[in-house]
Amino acid sequence: MQNIYYAVQGASPTLAQRHGLVKAPPPLLSEQQWSSMHAKSTARQDSQHECSICCEHFGMEEQVLLSCSHVFHKQCITSFERSAHSALVQTIQSLSICGT
């Protein structure tokens, strides 16, 4: 059986949040809310489908259940978050270079 991790949002605001570029995340989900998200994902049989990022079957690879109840490969969502963060940093840098 594959491991399913629950994505939790950190308590520390990101640089973008501190500068007012993006909203702070909502409060952490309670254990009951996580159970509800897991039940929704299980009912949809998400683990029997493909990861929406890489389009590969989950197989025995580690999975992450997000608070929206969607499931991704742990490696895929980690990589996606890194690239999204990198893109945001590049956008902030280009805005400050352009003087806007």
Q: Residue 93: its pLDDT value, please? A: 61
pTM: 0.58
pLDDT per position in the chain (100 positions), as tens? 344 444 554 557 778 888 888 887 777 788 898 889 889 988 988 888 898 889 999 888 888 888 888 888 999 988 888 887 676 666 666 665 555 4
Q: Residue 25: its pLDDT value, please? A: 72
Q: Count H helices and E strands in the chain, helices first.
A: 3, 3
CB 53 within 8 A of CB 72: yes
